[in-house]
Amino acid sequence: MILLQLVIDGLLLGAVYALFSSGLTLIWGMMNVVNFAHGDFVMVAMYVAFFAFTLLKIGPVLFIPLAAVVLFCLGVAVYYGLVRHVMRGPMLAQIISTFGLALFLRYSALWAFSANFVSLPDNLVGGTFQFGELRISAAQLLAGITALALTLGMHLLLTRTDLGSRMLAVSEDRTAAALVGIRPDPMQALAWGLGGASAGVAGALIALFFYVSPEVGNSFTLLAFVTVCLGGFGSVPGALLAGLAIGVIQSFSAYWLGPSTKDVVVFALFVLLLWVRPQGLLGRA
Amino acid sequence: MRIAPGSLAAAAILLLLAVAPVATGNPFYQHIAALVVLAAISASAWNVIGGYAGQVSFGHAVYFGTGAYASLLTFDKLGLPPIAGAPLGVLASFVLSVVIGLPSFRLRGHYFSMATIAVAALAQVLVTNWGFVGGAIGLMGPASPRSIADLLFRSALPYYAIFLGVLAVLLACTWLMQRGRTGFYLRALGSGEQAAASLGVPVRRYKLYALLLSGAFTSLAGSLYAVFVGFIDPDSGFGILISVNMVVMSALGGAGTLFGPLVGAIILVPLEEITNAWFGGSGTGTAYVAYGIVIMIIARFAPGGLAQLWQLFAWRRRRAA
């Protein structure tokens, strides 16, 4: 029974990882740029949710979309202000640009909000569901199901709609897409917007059951890297499966080896994966 | 013989570095001067792999921490002077370079940088949970000098002299490398790895050479830091900000130039000390907000750093003349 409990906890958490990682993988797939600030986007969204609740007195039904909108705008702004200009520059500029952004976001948050942990009240989405011996917290269930639905929605958007086809065209070949009348810039900005929004929703969902602090972004960035790497760079379904798998791995390693080791296992897995199979388990060579 | 204005300026900087702290006689400035040179050592060491070879590592804290822990472990476990651990740290850095480098160098560009972040994060968590090396609490150096070999001085000047000597050796090594075959190979693979490989550059072997040199001096910088400060914990040894400092200083001064990292250190270290003095305990965060902005501005407008601006300026002036 405890095994089933661990699997369910892991899957619910993993769905949220899958959501923000799908944003990272979308950005990578569109323009071969890694967003080193992705976890810090999640951190910003968590603060948006926290302050929306404490200052504006609005509940999850409103602050989750709010976080999505704010982070969508942040993503688009980062694209037009920074990424667009470094994309075809030297590798050094590409890599350090979003890393600088990560530092800026993390330490601005530290400066403005101090290093203290804050959290939303436990009973915001209260209660637990009891099925026999299984206990599932309502907040985690809500987060997991919302994240799962939105990740699938993102996949459908990219594969089943006209807009998705345009984005795919730009990611395949910028110049050719421009020749058939698709302007690459708005499509790439949209990818950053969607990437930001996915981190936005995920952050607001995580804030329902996890503390908020300026430093949380670092481990989310690494988690997103592991997920994207495991699922194959650029693949949203891959990120979904990998996210779920990593959630389960984390919940098992926390149970068997102690809570402090759950990051060690995931980071070690990441390093191993990059070394052994850089294209990801489901990725193409 | 014609002397380039660049090398003239460099000589002037070095002379100023050698004389100014002694001349001021102010202990606070001397302390900052020692920190500047120490930061310049690790940034210049990073520059060999990150600047010349173009392999952007965000995980060089692994080498820094290894050196720092090697020296204080030598004191803590064996009772020897901390500096005796420096050669051990360098040896350990060689082993680490091979173990980390060989698999990582199959990765290019962004993938390599992601791997370095993860390796450093992993190292930090492991050291934090390893009781033998002091766990989360860290290690202390000797409280009072037992002999001159403990290198405990009240003034910062003796440290300053030692650091300056190490920096001079490192810059000499880099200069020799830059002029020789290795330098050309590294710059070739830095500006286009596939192109370099197709022209017959043994890419992975030369990346490893660069990492061995870079890791060894970063480790040495860590050992010197531990001797100077007398204390090390997982954050000050393996924390990501240690790596950040090396990256931002090199990038500001000019990654892949001989004196770029030194220039970056001369600008940024006093800046950080000033913000610390202004904002007190919360100052560290403020400095890194500024670093983030500096990095973004460099990436956006001048990826070559101040060296690029200097060249642009010199070129304009020459054309006007």
A282 domain-assigned:
no
A237 domain-assigned:
yes
Rounded average pLDDT over A184-205: 94
Reduced to 3 states (helix: H, G, I; strand: E, B; else coil), residue B106 is coil
Tokens representing B48 are 């060999």
Q: Is the pLDDT at B295 greater than 70, yes or no?
A: yes
Chain B partners of A33 at a C-beta cutoff of 8 Å? 110
Nearest to B110 among A34, A261, A268 (CB): A34
Q: What is the pLDDT of residue B282?
A: 55
A61 domain-assigned:
yes
Q: What angle do CA B214, B217, B222 make, to 5 degrees?
A: 120
Query: What is the rounded distance in angstroms from the CA atom of residue B114 to the CA atom of residue A267?
Result: 11
Q: What is the pLDDT of residue A278?
A: 65
Strands A134-137 and A128-131, by their bridges, are antiparallel
For residue range A250-285, what is the model confidence (pLDDT) as tens digits? 999 888 887 777 778 888 888 888 777 766 655 554
Q: What is the pLDDT of residue A164?
A: 87
DSSP chain A: -HHHHHHHHHHHHHHHHHHHHHHHHHHHHHHS---TTHHHHHHHHHHHHHHHHHTT---HHHHHHHHHHHHHHHHHHHIIIIIHHHTTS-HHHHHHHHHHHHHHHHHHHHHHH-S--B---GGGG--EEEETTEEEEHHHHHHHHHHHHHHHHHHHHHHHSHHHHHHHHHHH-HHHHHHTT--HHHHHHHHHHHHHHHHHHHHHHHHTTS-B-TTHHHHHHHHHHHHHHHH-TT-HHHHHHHHHHHHHHHHHHHHHH-GGGHHHHHHHHHHHHHHH-TT-SSS--
Per the DSSP assignment, residues forming a β-bridge with B5 are: none
A177 domain-assigned:
yes
For residue A72, what pLDDT band results from cuts at 50, 70 and 90? very high
For residue range B204-217, what is the model confidence (pLDDT) as tens digits? 889 999 999 999 99
Q: Is the pLDDT at B277 greater than 80, yes or no?
A: no
For residue A147, what pLDDT band results from cuts at 50, 70 and 90? very high
A281 domain-assigned:
no
For residue range A132-146, what is the model confidence (pLDDT) as tens digits? 778 888 888 889 999
Least confident of A160-164, B60-64, B129-133: B129-133
Per the DSSP assignment, residues forming a β-bridge with A130 are: A135
Distance between A93 CA and the closest CA of chain B, angstroms: 4
Chain A partners of B286 at a C-beta cutoff of 8 Å? 107, 111
The domain that holds A138 is classified in CATH as 1.10.3470
A70 domain-assigned:
yes
A-chain residue closest to B285, CA distance: A107
Asked if A91's CB is within 8 angstroms of B292's CB, the reply is no
Q: What is the pLDDT of residue B212?
A: 94
For residue range B171-223, what is the model confidence (pLDDT) as tens digits? 999 999 988 888 888 888 888 888 888 888 888 889 999 999 999 999 999 99
Tokens 């407008």, located at residue: B301
For residue range B211-260, what is the model confidence (pLDDT) as tens digits? 999 999 999 999 999 999 989 999 888 988 899 899 999 999 988 889 89
B-chain residue closest to A273, CA distance: B115
Query: What is the rounded distance in angstroms from the CA atom of residue A100 to the CA atom of residue A86?
Result: 13
B-chain residue closest to A37, CA distance: B292
For residue B4, what pLDDT band results from cuts at 50, 70 and 90? low
A148 domain-assigned:
yes
For residue range A78-124, what is the model confidence (pLDDT) as tens digits? 999 999 999 888 888 888 999 999 999 999 999 888 888 888 887 77
- How high is the mean pLDDT of chain B? 86
Rounded average pLDDT over B72-88: 89
Q: How many domains does chain A have?
A: 1
Query: What is the rounded distance in angstroms from the CA atom of residue A148 to the CA atom of residue A150?
Result: 6
Q: Is the pLDDT at B50 greater than 50, yes or no?
A: yes
Q: What is the pLDDT of residue A285?
A: 42
Whether B255 has its CB under 8 Å from any CB of chain A: the answer is: yes
Probe site for chain B from A32, A95, A279 (most B CB atoms < 10 A)? A95
Domains in chain B with CATH codes: 5-320 (1.10.3470)
- How high is the mean pLDDT of chain A? 88
Asked if A89's CB is within 8 angstroms of B107's CB, the reply is no
Q: Is the pLDDT at B2 greater than 60, yes or no?
A: no
Rounded average pLDDT over A187-207: 94
Chain B partners of A97 at a C-beta cutoff of 8 Å? 295-296, 299-300
For residue B1, what pLDDT band results from cuts at 50, 70 and 90? very low
A-chain residue closest to B279, CA distance: A111
Domain with A48, as residue range(s), is: 2-276
For residue range A199-243, what is the model confidence (pLDDT) as tens digits? 999 999 999 988 999 989 988 998 998 898 888 888 888 899 999
Asked if B285's CB is within 8 angstroms of A111's CB, the reply is yes
Query: What is the rounded distance in angstroms from the CA atom of residue A203 to the CA atom of residue A226?
Result: 18
Q: Is the pLDDT at A77 greater than 90, yes or no?
A: yes
For residue B304, what pLDDT band results from cuts at 50, 70 and 90? confident
Q: With contact defined as beta carbons under 8 Å apart, do B17 and B164 qualify?
A: yes
Q: What is the CA radius of gyration of chain A?
A: 18
